[in-house]
Amino acid sequence: MSKASPGLRKRGKVWHIDKIIAGRRIQASTGETELEAAERYLKKLAHDIREVEVYGESPVKTFDQAAARYILEAHKKSLDRDLYSLDAVMPYIGSLPLLDVHAFTLEEFVHDRQEAGIAAGTIKRDLAVIRQVLKFACQKWREANGKPWLQSVPMLPSVHGPKRKPRPISRTEQASLFQLLPDYLAEMALFAINTGCRDQEICTLRWDWEHTMTDTDISVFILPENHTKNGHERIVPLNAIARSIIEHRRSLKEPGDEWVFGKKKPLDRMNNTAWRKAREQADLQDVRVHDLRHSFGQRLRYAGVSLEDRQDLLGHHAGRITTHYSKAEIGRLIEAVETLCDSRLRPEITLVRKKS
């Protein structure tokens, strides 16, 4: 067996480094069990450190390194969605140096996504996440010598294709789909279709966002600006169905519970395995969770609710602060969402199914 280079020591099955390189003591695991691989690792590490310390050069950073740091530092409501995009692109560019991530090296990724039938809008979101990682590397992250991880953000591929149209569901389809969902998810879906809230707004809905109107027993939820898509506070009036859901969730609440639809932590998303399985069983594969919001808006329009009130109920910013309404204005919005409970307009949906 050949002798290990100075600074390499084997602990258990793995080779570790303990060596002075360019005046710095480096103590780290190589992650390698074979001496030859550990020697290569040490040689590459020593080269990179000397380039930085002696010559002022920056070590080469790969996209997977940048993505890992982005995940740790990006405080976003949509981080779960970003992870999906990053998982999809890693086999294509994960090991590439940041400098080599550009339109040409992403062509295969875009082509394969298109061949798999992924919508253009979804691919655009994937590329937006990649662009954000590269932007962080260029504008935010610095080496010890002050140089950025990446000198400039490259152009990425452009994606063309028809925008996916909204797919509101009928009340018959609603009954078919919701009965196939587990109870917790059926409640969340029913809340979505009666409030117009987005997936993440429901998953992260907190009890301390509930407010009671002065001199009444009527409560609404006020979503803070850092939890809405457009960055504006949003009022969520509740109709009879939504109130029933809230009261049922309240009956399950335990001391210390913060989230309406979660226990120790908020749920990640509604678009989970149970949702996709129920959608397939109901033969509604083209229905997304976001289409519940579209259904809410469409039903309000069919019920004769004004455009202005529909905009407020959907949280579309129209030049006014929606949480500063008077009691009468909030009452009008509650009346608007109550139209969705009209028995003449819908078949009844069982809210909480009894266990057999």
Is residue 122 assigned to a domain?
A: yes
Is residue 145 assigned to a domain?
A: no
- The number of domains in the chain is 3
Residue 211 has pLDDT above 70, yes or no: yes
Instruction: Give pLDDT tens digits for 232-263.
Output: 788 899 999 999 999 999 998 888 889 999 87
**CA pseudo-torsion sign 277, 283, 288, 289:** negative
List phi, psi (to 5°) of 212: -100, 130
Query: Predicted confidence band at 121 (pLDDT cuts at 50, 70, 90)?
Result: confident
Give, rounded to a whole angstrom, the gap between the first and last alpha carbons of the chain. 68
User: Which range, of 120-129, 163-172, 340-349, averages the lowest pLDDT?
Assistant: 340-349
- Which carries the bigger pLDDT value, residue 347 or residue 299? 299
Is residue 77 assigned to a domain?
A: yes
- Assign residue 291 the CATH number of its domain: 1.10.443.10
Please, are residues 239 and 194 in contact by the beta-carbon 8 Å criterion? yes
The three-point CA angle 342-347-353 to 5° equals: 110
Is residue 148 assigned to a domain?
A: no
Residue of 11, 47, 12 whose CA lies nearest to 26:
47
Query: Predicted confidence band at 297 (pLDDT cuts at 50, 70, 90)?
Result: very high
Q: Are residues 20 and 98 in the same domain?
A: no
Q: Are residues 27 and 71 in the same domain?
A: no
Is residue 67 assigned to a domain?
A: yes
Residue 319 has pLDDT above 60, yes or no: no
Q: How many CA atoms lie within 13 A of 45 on its CB side?
A: 22
- What does the pLDDT average to over 323-352? 69
137's CB contacts (< 8 A; 6+ apart) are 61, 66, 98, 148, 149, 150
- What does the pLDDT average to over 183-210? 93
Is residue 350 assigned to a domain?
A: no
Q: Are residues 182 and 291 in the same domain?
A: yes
Residue 153 has pLDDT above 60, yes or no: yes
Provide the mean pLDDT of the chain: 83
Q: Are residues 130 and 276 in the same domain?
A: no
Q: Are residues 202 and 271 in the same domain?
A: yes
Is residue 289 assigned to a domain?
A: yes
Is residue 348 assigned to a domain?
A: no
Q: Are residues 69 and 121 in the same domain?
A: yes
The model carries a pTM of: 0.60
Query: Predicted confidence band at 42 (pLDDT cuts at 50, 70, 90)?
Result: confident
- What does the pLDDT average to over 12-37? 79
The three-point CA angle 227-231-235 to 5° equals: 65
Amino acid at 108: E
Query: Predicted confidence band at 317 (pLDDT cuts at 50, 70, 90)?
Result: low
Q: Are residues 233 and 298 in the same domain?
A: yes
Q: Are residues 219 and 324 in the same domain?
A: yes
130 lies in which domain range?
63-139
